[in-house]
């Protein structure tokens, strides 16, 4: 009888523990330690500055906010993504065949290192492996608007 209760207790405990999946725990997809150094803080920054609208899983918000995960517009240009994070974007854009026309405010308080960490995180999850996008690269991106803005 005692063994039965112990077994039930163990099953109950294990069924309540969180089960990381590749969808939920996107950091688990990163194996490169250099990328991980940037991505850990990038995930935190993304959740603080971006996930409210783009959602923590990158799915966007219906017809208002475009997705990032599996989005053609997002995958096209790291330069454009870094620029938009800092400066925002206004006007219609086409993402995966859908037109979005909601203004995205910029985050001018984010430093190049912050943006580098966010884009390193984003471009190394959801089955992408772009490697480290460094702060000096982001500084270069922020000097001029991308051609495909």
103-129: pLDDT as tens digits: 999 999 999 999 999 999 999 999 999
Say how many residues make up the chain. Answer: 149
Q: Quick count: other Cβ atoms within 10 Å of Cβ 105?
A: 10
- In the chain, domain spans: 30-143
Please, what CATH class does the domain formed by 30-143 belong to? mainly alpha
Q: Which of 19-28, 45-54, 135-144 has the lowest mean pLDDT?
A: 19-28
pLDDT of 35 = 94
Higher pLDDT, 8 or 77: 77
What are the DSSP E strand ranges found in 35-144?
93-95, 98-100
- Residues 93-110 have pLDDT tens digits of 999 999 999 999 999 999
Name the band, by pLDDT with cuts 50, 70 and 90, for residue 12: very low
What average pLDDT does the chain have? 87
Name the band, by pLDDT with cuts 50, 70 and 90, for residue 9: very low
CB 9 within 8 A of CB 107: no
Name the band, by pLDDT with cuts 50, 70 and 90, for residue 29: confident
| Long-range pairs of 47-52 with CB within 8 A, sequence gap ≥ 24 | 49/85, 49/107, 49/110, 49/118, 50/85, 50/118
């Amino acid at each position: 009888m005692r063994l039965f209760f112990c077994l039930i207790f163990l099953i109950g405990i294990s069924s309540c523990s969180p089960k990381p999946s590749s969808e939920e725990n996107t950091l688990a997809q990163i194996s490169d330690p250099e990328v991980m150094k940037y991505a850990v803080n990038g995930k935190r920054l993304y959740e603080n500055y971006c996930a409210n609208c783009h959602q923590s899983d990158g799915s966007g918000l219906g017809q208002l906010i475009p997705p990032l995960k599996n989005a053609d517009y997002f995958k096209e240009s790291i330069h454009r993504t870094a620029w938009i994070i800092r400066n925002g974007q206004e006007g219609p854009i086409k993402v995966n065949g859908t037109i979005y026309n909601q203004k995205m405010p910029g985050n001018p308080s984010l430093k190049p290192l912050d943006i580098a960490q966010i884009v390193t995180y984003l471009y190394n999850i959801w089955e992408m492996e772009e490697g480290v996008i460094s702060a000096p690269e982001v500084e270069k991106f922020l000097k001029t608007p991308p051609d495909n803005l």
